[in-house]
Amino acid sequence: MNDWETQANLVLQELNAAQVERRLDPAEYRRRRLQLLQSIARSAGAPTARRRRVAAPQALPTPVVTVRRDRTPPTALQAALRSWTLRLWAAVMLAGAAWVYWHGIAAL
C-alpha cells in the first residue's frame, strides 16, 4: 500500500470514528468524506470529467494565415551582396582557424 493510501485510510477511519461518536455534524461528515474520496480518486489517476474532456480529440479551427505585403523579396543585388559577404566571412573564419591551428602546433 502506498503512503498516500495508508494516510487516506487513517483519515477515513478517524472520520468514521468521529461520526460514530457524534463529534461531527452529519453534513460536515458527508462533505469531508466526499472530499477525501475525490482526492483518493484523483491520486489514483482515475479519469475525471476534465481528464476525459482534455483527452478527447477536438476539431480545432483552421488557422488564418496572413501574408505580409510590406516586405519585398530581396533584389538580385541584395542577394549577391549577402552571398558575397557570407562567403567572405566564412573565408576569414577559415583563415583564422588555420592560423590558430598552425601557431598551436608551432608552440608544441
> What global pTM score does this model have?
0.37
Share of the chain above pLDDT 90, in %: 15
Q: Kindly report, residue by residue over 45-75, the tens digit of the pLDDT.
A: 766 677 777 777 777 777 787 777 777 878 8
Ranges of H-type helices in 1-108 = 3-20, 26-43, 49-55, 76-107
Question: What is residue 22's DSSP assignment?
Answer: T
Sites in the chain below the pLDDT cut of 50 = none
User: Taking the domains of the chain in order of start, what are their residue ranges?
Assistant: 3-46, 80-108
Extract the C-alpha cell encoding 50: 476534465
